[in-house]
């Protein structure tokens, strides 16, 4: 729940920023000189890129949550079997051990989105966010029946 609140607060701040920057870009364009119109167009590009990025990330999160809900309904969500330090952090060796099992499981059945989902969780637990995201994208693509770029 805390992650959702953080996400929505961050998204709201970004949208406010996009509106603010966009309005400044429009004001620059309305001024009408070659220089201000050029700067106004350049300033408007930033909110467009930001909105696209926010949209893509929101879609990714929605799809990943839908996969998690489907796995939960099947009773197949990965079990948290990780050892933790006294401060609550995940033990690195424990994460590596679980990751090795998830990777072997995924190598055995590379066409199963469930394996890729569990591998993404293992990557995340091992603090390898870029690979976790790629594995989740693969799980989403497999679930949707789309072609996968290797």
Per-residue model confidence as pLDDT tens digits over 22-36:
999 999 999 989 999
CB count within 10 Å of CB 98 equals 22
State what percent of residues in the chain have pLDDT above 70: 97
Report how far residue 19's alpha carbon sits from residue 21's, in angstroms, rounded to the nearest whole number. Answer: 6
Which residues face 84 on adjacent strands?
90
Q: Which residues contact 101 (CB under 8 A, 6 or more apart)?
A: 122
User: Would you say the pTM of this structure is higher than 0.75?
Assistant: yes
Confidence of residue 149 (pLDDT cuts 50, 70, 90): low
Report how far residue 108's alpha carbon sits from residue 93's, in angstroms, rounded to the nearest whole number. Answer: 23
If you compute the radius of gyration of the chain from its CA atoms, what whole number of angstroms results?
A: 21
Question: 52 and 15 in contact (C-beta within 8 Å)?
Answer: no
- Residue 134 scores a pLDDT above 70: yes
State what percent of residues in the chain have pLDDT above 90: 71
Dihedral angle of Cα 64, 69, 75, 80, to the nearest 10 degrees: 50
- Residue 147 scores a pLDDT above 70: no
Tokens describing residue 122 = 């293992």
What mean pLDDT is predicted for residues 110-135? 92
- Residue 139 scores a pLDDT above 80: yes
pLDDT tens-digit map of 32-83: 899 999 999 999 999 999 999 999 999 999 999 999 999 999 988 888 888 8
């Amino acid at each position: 729940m805390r992650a959702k609140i953080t996400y929505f607060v961050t998204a709201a701040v970004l949208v406010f920023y996009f509106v603010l920057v966009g309005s400044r870009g429009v004001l620059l364009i309305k001024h009408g000189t070659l220089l201000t119109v050029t700067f106004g167009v350049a300033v408007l590009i930033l909110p467009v890129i930001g909105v696209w990025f926010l949209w893509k990330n929101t879609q990714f999160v929605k799809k990943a949550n839908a996969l998690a809900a489907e796995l939960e309904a099947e009773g197949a969500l990965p079990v948290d079997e990780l050892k933790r330090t006294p401060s609550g952090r995940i033990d690195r060796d424990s994460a590596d051990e679980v990751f090795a099992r998830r990777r072997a499981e995924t190598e055995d059945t590379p066409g199963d989105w469930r394996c890729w989902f569990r591998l993404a969780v293992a990557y995340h637990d091992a603090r390898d966010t870029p690979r976790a995201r790629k594995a989740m994208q693969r799980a989403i693509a497999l679930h949707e029946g789309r072609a996968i770029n290797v």
